Structure 1
Amino acid sequence: MANILSSLVILGFSIWAIFSIHIFAANNGTLSLFGSIVDSGIFPDGTPLTPITTNGRYPKLDWQIKAPAAFLWHFGDGLHPDNSLAGLLFAGAWSASWILIVLEGFRKCNRRRIISYISIWGVFQFNHSNALITPIWLALHLLTSPSAVRPSPDDVSIDSIDLLVLPASFVIGFVVPLAPVMLPFSVISVRMKQTAMGWYQQWPLWISIPHYILAAALRSTSVPSKVAGEKIQLILYRSVYIFAFAFAVLTHLPVMVLSFTAALWPALFSHEFVHLLQPKHLLVPANPFSGVKAENLAQGMFWLIQWDYFSGYLAPAVWGLILYRRVGLEQGKKSSWESCLKRAAIYALLAGPIGVAVGMIWERDEILFGQSQEIKSEEPKLAGDNK
């Protein structure tokens, strides 16, 4: 019953995403603006939408390439600082979130379960929004995964090679393809930037392919035997969590510092842009029930990414707290909700809501692996007592 109730709470974020993202985008005119730009191949300011496509040979594929290019354009065109900052905030949080999902998919107890087919979930996520799909995955995890009920250290174990190559595969498949989107036009053409945006929608494949290639290559060497030890494995776990947390921190903190600086010392910024950087604009999404209309696609996409961020990453925060508390209570850890929420607040301050999820799942694993080491240390004592 507890699992069902927890899953329903998590699914509430998906339901909210339908209203705050999909219905709101339709009602405020964003979707019609978006569709007209993709169909016409030109932005209202005259910028052409010309990513490299099949030139009409496969119209549906061409549309699938043009659509993400149009979607991402105002986050990387350098003309909308609020969009750029909101996009940076979202990208960092998404990175940490996806690493957590990948880790759960790799865990021994989740193999061949519906939640382990992460590339498929990634495609759904890109096409239907993070805020809609991620809570569905989280709810299914709570309902189907042994690690969500009474996990053992063996349940949550992950192959050492997968842990070893995950950061590298993520950099190759996520960071490198995203780099052209952030480059200035002095070093990249409009068409090449749009091409990078258009083909970026296949990021689940760009991460998975190098991961499995690198893992297969390492498994054919002596590396597996070198990383098989328990201490080495614990180091690998921690390095992946540090990697995930760093993504969130390095995008969250700079955006927060810049935004609150703009609010406290507005004279430091251009009068034209200062209001776009302040928290009341950057961090407070438009009311989806207000009837407000988007003046242009950039504004509509800004509202969309704001709600995708808050709805999509509060859900993992709740999920992480649920999993941590369950393991803590099972292992007899005297951790009150007050103590738990205080640590969660610190994680949120440093890395936003997704920082809460990373921190809580990391702590959950530390409890389980600590228990494993305690059991193994007791075994020699028991053997000696039996002699």
Structure 2
Amino acid sequence: MSKVAFYTLSLLGTCGIWGRNVLDGSFALVFDAINSESTHIPGTKEQLLTSITGIRYPIDYQLGFLVLYFWESVDGSHPATSAVGIYFLGQYLSILTVVLTDSLRKGQVSGFGKAIAWFLLFQASAIGCSSGIWAALYTGSSPLVYKNLPFSSLQQASLTPPSSTVFLIPALTFGFIAPSIIMAIPSPSLVSNRFQQLAVVVWNVFPLVVLALHKTFSVLLPTKGFLKQTSPTSHLKAIRITNGCALATSFAVHIAVSSLSLATVLFPAVFAPGYAEELGPTSVFVPPIAISKSKTVGEGFRSFLLWDQVFGYSIMLVVALMQLETSVKAHGKTFSWVKTVPVALVGAVVAGPGSVSLAVSWVRDEILFEYGKDSAVAKKR
């Protein structure tokens, strides 16, 4: 896939995500609120925190903007938006695992810190807007994509330090999953509105938390056994552990949200009035085409998240498939996009787009280090 195609997808994503929010009025609701003299959190009498870091422009202004945008997806006032948000986060975990693991590979030009910087940009602008730019730059510089490396060289370029790979598990657990749960704690019944605002802020800068935790765990946690060895066998073991944990979590969230949504069709009577429609499959999984006026920010944010998934996760899946193609061809086999894409699309329905991206990345490592090992043995014989 050419750079032009990725840049085009990025432009389309920006139009489909932010453009829709401008046209449906939800962007104006946030913009007017954050620029008013007295800004209250929607549905509360609590003032919006306008001084978090002490740097009004651009940091506190941006954080306040994000708090207002996210608030009605975590306060329970918009069940459909909350359900979409939970699903989005579940799939995002797999995307994080793929990109951060790739950043640890020997052959990567960009390191872990640069990957974190990209995720900060995704947080600020939406992954569906900026992932196309990331993909264009990544596929143009990474030896893991279309560089025609010999199989042995591709193996070396794909190796990761096992300890760094495994330490992604606690880093993402406490740096991403925990903030995602904490920001959804109801306020003011269990926590204060101020606490929940700060929790939303922390979630929006979670890449920095993940970075700090990963560095901390890398220093403090012991590295024993296979974690001390940078070898194909140790690498593959670390990949299996890390990917297995992330994939199981993403798939569990996919099943939970899908089952709840499907239950509104099969057993609508068990839901309170209005909830069956709010949580139905068309509300939770189908991006809206028609643009209707949003009465609240929460209504527009549902559309925002759905289209963000469509563009952002699709781009990530394409990049993962490009990497898979490179490894398959280096292995001396034939790769067919015509056959692979339908399988990936079915997988996205069954397990979620983020889960499929992680599964594709995992298969790539298995080809390089498990099946590749068998090929090397066969050649020696």
| SS of residue matched to 2:144 | helix
- Root-mean-square deviation (CA, aligned residues, Å) is 2.6
Deviation at 1:178, TM superposition (A): 2.3
Deviation at 1:193, TM superposition (A): 0.9
Q: Does 1:165 align with 2:161?
A: no
Spell out, residue by residue over 1:255-290, the C-alpha distance to the aligned partner (whole angstroms, 9 max, x if none).
111112212332221222211111122222222xx4
**In structure 2, C-alpha distance between the alignment counterparts of 1:85 and 1:355, rounded to whole Å:** 18
8 A Cα contact 2:79 2:278, kept in partner: yes
Amino acid at match of 2:328: G
8 A Cα contact 2:42 2:71, kept in partner: no
Q: Which residue of 1 aligns with 2:313?
A: 313
Spell out, residue by residue over 1:114-163, the C-alpha distance to the aligned partner (whole angstroms, 9 max, x if none).
x9611211221111111011222122221111111235110111111211
Which of residues 25, 32, 39 is equivalent to 1:29?
A: 25
Deviation at 1:250, TM superposition (A): 1.9
**Is the alpha carbon distance of 1:291 and 1:360 closer, same or farther for their aligned partners in structure 2, counting shifts above 3 Å?**
closer
Which of residues 200, 203, 212 is equivalent to 1:200?
A: 203
Amino acid at match of 1:165: F
**Is the alpha carbon distance of 1:366 and 1:6 closer, same or farther for their aligned partners in structure 2, counting shifts above 3 Å?**
farther
| SS of residue matched to 1:110 | coil
Q: Which residue of 1 aligns with 2:297?
A: 297
How many residue pairs were aligned? 372
Decide which moves more: 103-112 or 341-350.
341-350
Which of residues 9, 18, 28 is equivalent to 2:14?
A: 18
Q: Output the TM-score relative to the length of structure 1.
A: 0.87
Spell out, residue by residue over 1:335-386, the C-alpha distance to the aligned partner (whole angstroms, 9 max, x if none).
655653464245323321222211111111111112542366468x57xxxx
List aligned pairs for 1:189-338, cutoff 5 A.
189-218=192-221, 226-228=228-230, 230-287=232-289, 290-333=290-333, 336-337=336-337
Spell out, residue by residue over 1:24-66, the C-alpha distance to the aligned partner (whole angstroms, 9 max, x if none).
21121111101222233214534424448449x5323432332
Q: Which residue of 2 aligns with 1:126?
A: 123
**In structure 1, C-alpha distance between the alignment counterparts of 2:280 and 2:88, rounded to whole Å:** 17
Q: Which residue of 1 aligns with 2:191?
A: 188
List aligned pairs for 1:308-387, cutoff 5 A.
308-333=308-333, 336-337=336-337, 340-341=340-341, 343-345=343-345, 347-374=347-374, 377=377, 381=380
Q: Which residue of 2 aligns with 1:80?
A: 78
Amino acid at match of 2:325: R
Aligned identity (percent) is 23
8 A Cα contact 2:287 2:303, kept in partner: yes
- Alignment gaps of 5+ in structure 2: none
Amino acid at match of 1:318: V
8 A Cα contact 2:97 2:358, kept in partner: no
Deviation at 1:212, TM superposition (A): 1.1
**In structure 1, C-alpha distance between the alignment counterparts of 2:254 and 2:131, rounded to whole Å:** 20
**In structure 1, C-alpha distance between the alignment counterparts of 2:141 and 2:133, rounded to whole Å:** 12
**In structure 1, C-alpha distance between the alignment counterparts of 2:245 and 2:132, rounded to whole Å:** 23
Amino acid at match of 1:99: T
8 A Cα contact 1:245 1:355, kept in partner: yes
